[in-house]
Chain A
């Protein structure tokens, strides 16, 4: 066991909304070729059969409106356009055609290929280049938010591929229930009551004691009261605050402002970073639930089936046995025990590449805080865990960035 793992007392997971790897981090390939981002030559055909090329022109807001379709049927088009479909490998050539379907505007449909220029996202880009960046972290399902977030909480979506309210099927328990039963501590921090929690409203109803708010997270970091495992949710809506001020959505879901999400990520990082004891005993994973219909160039790999079959009414008639992953998303593991500028290889490296998905979250937390635990989905049992990235050497304070929020 590494010294970093020996020292680890807390894991914090922050899950943002609806942005693909290439959209947020693809630009970093130019500075570090180990990062499996964009060369700048990637294209998708538009509906006039002209190539729409990736371009570093992503804006913080008002560009991806309407919200790109990321329902299961739309994502199949994004992945398999121009191919016979699964089980063939996805060609990643249908993003522009899929976006065109929403308002039949050829020029607008090209915007689905835009990515953020280097440095435009100072928080995400700095963290990706300072800690461990995963080249191969994929959404669990080629579909929308709720079923993907379910994999982070339960290691399965119980056969769902859509946004419907969730029904838990025995014997799988949420990671929070498992931890409590094992005598561990855990909290699910939502932003505020107006934003609340996504996907696990059933837990909010039945186990309200595991929930707290973002201000409580900041307080718990300051006082050293953070539980073993924390899951943090951003603000999902623009709404008035209790003090009458403006609470800007920070989830980065289109068409919410990406800069507000940058500030939110920085605030979570700073809260941990500013408590020296917490900083050296905490690992922070920042990831996104799914790609939100936005272009990525890496075909999602196959995975072990989850033991469920999706309803054909939810898939547009395509059989789906939860045996392939969704589109690649950003994922960064932060800790002073991680070697600077670690890049975890993905499918681009057949010899050493590792594939992660959201079931990796409960798999990792269970492995570290509980140990042997059998009642888990096949997907979670097969999922890669990530705490082996912690090393024996703690980086000095001067080597770890901090953020100043304007």
Chain B
């Protein structure tokens, strides 16, 4: 039986991972943080992260702030 063509997809380089990339290089992520900050203002004070968004200067820090805010709004199904 003829087999489907299989195409190899190379892995990216290990050096591609740059969580310390300055947030200023990505306006989309900067605005993503601002959007969550707007939502955070509506949360009761005891549920806010306490993270000043001016202190978020890298992509990794932005991801951590977004993670904490997302988890307040949506809890993904455990295990997946």
The yes or no verdict on A and B being binding partners is yes
Residues of A within 8 A of B (CB): 17-18, 60-61, 65-67, 122-123, 126, 144-146, 163-165, 190, 192-198, 201, 204-205, 208, 211-213, 215-216, 218-219, 236-240, 246, 248-249, 253, 255-257, 259-260, 262-263, 266, 396-406
Note all chain B residues with C-beta closer than 8 A to A400: 4
**Cα separation A197 to B16 with both chains bound (whole Å):** 22
B51 at the interface (CB under 8 A from A): no
**Contact present for B27 and A67 (CB under 8 Å):** yes
What are 30 pairs between A and B in contact, CB < 8 Å?
A18-B28, A60-B16, A61-B12, A67-B26, A122-B9, A164-B31, A165-B31, A192-B67, A193-B67, A193-B74, A196-B67, A201-B36, A204-B74, A213-B77, A218-B80, A219-B80, A236-B29, A236-B32, A237-B29, A237-B66, A240-B19, A240-B60, A257-B12, A257-B16, A263-B9, A263-B11, A396-B2, A403-B6, A406-B10, A406-B11
Chain A residues closer than 8 Å to B76, beta-carbon distance: 192-193, 212-213, 215-216
Interface residues of B (CB under 8 A from A): 1-13, 16-19, 21, 25-29, 31-32, 34-36, 38-39, 59-60, 62-64, 66-67, 69-71, 73-74, 76-77, 80
How far is A255 from B2 in the complex, measured between Cα atoms in Å?
40
Chain B residues near A246 (CB-CB < 8 A): 17, 19
Neighbour of A204 across the interface among B16, B34, B73, CB < 8 A: B73
Q: Is the CB–CB distance between B34 and A165 below 8 Å?
A: yes
In the complex where A196-B66, A237-B63, A257-B16 touch, is A406 in contact with B32 (Cβ < 8 A)? no
> Do residues A194 and B63 form an inter-chain contact, with CB atoms below 8 A?
yes
Given A17-B28, A145-B28, A163-B27: A201 and B9 within 8 A (CB)? no
Bound CA–CA A194/B27 (angstroms): 17
Q: A193-B76, A198-B28, A204-B70 are in contact. Are A123 and B9 (CB under 8 A)?
A: yes
Residues of A within 8 A of B39 (CB): 201, 205
Chain A neighbourhood of B74, CB < 8 A: 193, 204, 208, 211
Residues of B within 8 A of A401 (CB): 4-7
The closest CB in chain B to the CB of A202 belongs to B39
The answer to whether B71 touches A193 (Cβ under 8 A) is: yes
Q: Given B13, B17, B25, B69, which contacts A66 in the complex, CB threshold below 8 Å?
A: B25
Residue of B nearest to A164 (CB): B31
Residues of A within 8 A of B5 (CB): 401-402
